[in-house]
A and B are shown apart, each in its own frame.
Chain A
Amino acid sequence: MLVTTTAAREARITAEPDPPSFDEVYAASFADLAVQLYAYFGDRQEAQDVAQEAFCRALARWNTIARYDDPVAWIRRVAWNLAVSRWRRARTAMNFLRRQRPDEPQTEGPGPERVTLIAALGTLPSAQRRAVVLHYLADLPVAEIALRERVTEVTVRSHLHRGRAALAVQLKLTESHGGAS
């Protein structure tokens, strides 16, 4: 008698509760992750590309990742690794070419407040920008950011402090010119 799919499924169910499916995690997490990366890059399409790549890599070993306590944490970590890696730089030329296509789906542009915030974020050094985005958009505690960035918690607090101060200056300057409120 050959192995049957049903029997294999029963074995998994017996072993542990059903892990989340890839589709469930994708649907629940893609947009949040893309927004975080958008705040970091200032480029929505690039953010979506990096998020999609992270999910592709997760899919390649989903049987393992699905059993983790927090599969999204793994995907987020890969996405941020990609965000600062050669992979993204290598994609730049391809992205440029793709944007020349006339049939690129268009979406409504961001409002002035969001443009101002993204622009202000863009002035921060990358380490500060990552710390601010991970803290305010990914809702990660300082300790987890420190672990991810491989720096001390003191360094993360310093990045957050300086980032906040710089953003305050940037956004107040804009306010004085009647921009964002």
Chain B
Amino acid sequence: MTTDQLKDLFDDLREGTVPTIRPPGAAAARRTLRRRRATTAAVSAAAAVVAIAGGVTVVAGHGEPAPRPTLAPAVASTEPAPTQPEPTGPQPTGTERTALDAITDGRPMLTVTSPVVTGYKWAKKIYPPVVEFTAACAGAGEITLTITGGSPLDHNRFKTHDMPIKVVCTSSPKPVRAELMTRIGVGLTVRMTGAKGTTARSGFAFSLRGTSGEEFAPDDERLDLESMVGRAGGKLDDGRVVRHGGGTPSYEPGHGFSAHGWTQLAGTEAYDLVVACRGEGTYTLELWRGGQPDFKDVQAGKRTGTHVTTQTVPCTAAPQRFSWPVGALGSGVTFWENYENTTGTIGTVAWSLVTRE
């Protein structure tokens, strides 16, 4: 049989089968998604209630009872969303004030104002994965604000791109809005890359606001997962963090556990495992004590060594910190992880091993 013959057979298969396919339809996909989101919201709400009551959602693996957490969640669910911080610098006036008034609506957000000046540039590290950008300009002319940031392209790959937004300056500014999908915790830059017909009296304002779940301000460092588990200046960053990890745990939910890494430890120290997850669904971390696993076993998803603990945390838009005592881990430990959700949302996690005090 030649390749051409085989190609003909497959072409015939395609032509003959396509008419028999009965697509459920795009509307059915939307209905499915709405139902799943409603379910996820209910599950997240339930998890929050459990956290308030003093417990956590813990799944014990291999028949072992799950120890209670020893640290309270860093973000208490009962805390209200942060409000817009009181401005500490000089209050904007004139056209800047007019532009600012056009974009503020009482919701928590980060606001910036400036006169229209050549070479304007503003940069900040932000935390929410989805940010709503709103801009307005008062006075005369038109400006172009170009937003530069990283956006999720694929598993562990991110693409930096520019998004130019034109804003017309008028005496009654009309806000323009764009939704930004960003890499969490990366720098976002806003530059003025164009101005036509503006005057020295033109002024503009823009705001950034998280859109997922509770409305957090973009610079709310309570959303910084690494700080939450003791890294990057977090509360535990006092030398007790001996190992840490995280990132984007799984490109394709439902794909099962994958090896996250293996590390050597002192062997006799007792540790706490601290985990925080942003996303939708759950993140599970398994710890296995023993020597470095064989590559083939890792590829096959085969655990080796002695099971230490399995802990599952809820992933939410406003992440919480969970902690469990895991005792001494011996000289080596392998981490296996699994991120499960039903909506396809990319999750972000951070964990650390902290020496017990």
Contact = CB atoms under 8 A, between A and B. Distances in A.
Interface of A: 1-4, 7-8, 10-12, 14-16, 22-23, 26-27, 30-32, 34-35, 38-39, 44, 48, 51-52, 55-61, 63-64, 68, 74, 78, 81-82, 85-87, 105, 107-108, 110-111, 113-114, 117-118, 136-137, 164, 167-168, 171-172
Contacts of B105: 2
Given A31-B23, A48-B23, A167-B6, A8 B177 contact: yes
A41 to B, nearest CB: 12
Given A108-B20, A114-B16, 19 more contacts: A7-B175, A8-B178, A10-B166, A10-B176, A15-B164, A22-B26, A48-B23, A51-B23, A56-B32, A56-B33, A60-B36, A64-B151, A64-B181, A74-B154, A81-B255, A111-B16, A114-B12, A136-B10, A164-B6
A23 B175 contact: no
B1 A30 contact: no
B62 interface: no
B47 to A, nearest CB: 20
Contacts of B25: 26
Given A14-B165, A60-B33, A82-B254, A117 B24 contact: no
Contacts of A30: 21, 23
17 contacts: A3-B177, A7-B177, A8-B177, A11-B165, A22-B26, A30-B23, A32-B14, A35-B17, A44-B21, A48-B24, A52-B28, A55-B26, A87-B255, A110-B20, A136-B10, A137-B10, A167-B1
Interface in B1-54: 1, 3, 6-7, 9-10, 12-14, 16-18, 20-26, 28-30, 32-33, 36
Q: From B25, B152, B176, name the one whose CB has the most chain A CB atoms within 10 angstroms.
A: B176
Report, as a range, how many residues of chain B touch the other chain. 35 or more
A139 to B, nearest CB: 10
B7 A136 contact: yes
A103 to B, nearest CB: 14
A107 to B, nearest CB: 5
B21 A34 contact: yes
A113 B344 contact: no
B43 to A, nearest CB: 16
A85 B254 contact: yes
A78 to B, nearest CB: 6
A27 B344 CA distance: 21
Given A1-B172, A11-B177, A15-B165, A35 B13 contact: yes
B29 A59 contact: yes
A87 B341 CA distance: 11
Nearest to A27: B26
Contacts of A55: 26, 29
B102 A35 contact: no
A57 B343 contact: yes
Q: Is the interface of A mostly helix, strand, loop or mixed?
A: helix
A147 to B, nearest CB: 11
B179 interface: yes
Nearest 6 pairs between A and B by C-beta? A57-B344, A168-B1, A87-B254, A8-B177, A136-B10, A60-B344
Contacts of A110: 16-17, 20
Interface in B118-162: 134, 151-154
B29 A31 contact: no
B163 interface: yes
B175 A1 contact: yes
A3 B6 CA distance: 57
Contacts of A164: 1, 3, 6
A1 B173 contact: yes
Given A60-B343, A164-B1, A164-B6, A31 B18 contact: yes
Contacts of A51: 23
B178 A12 contact: yes
A23 B255 contact: no
B353 to A, nearest CB: 28
B343 A4 contact: no
A64 B20 CA distance: 31
Nearest to A80: B252
A127 B172 CA distance: 63
A156 to B, nearest CB: 15
Contacts of B36: 56, 60
A115 B213 CA distance: 49
B83 interface: no
A64 B21 contact: no
Contacts of A57: 343-344
Residue in A27, A58, A61 whose Cβ sees the most chain B Cβ within 10 Å: A61
Contacts of B29: 22, 26, 52, 55-56, 59
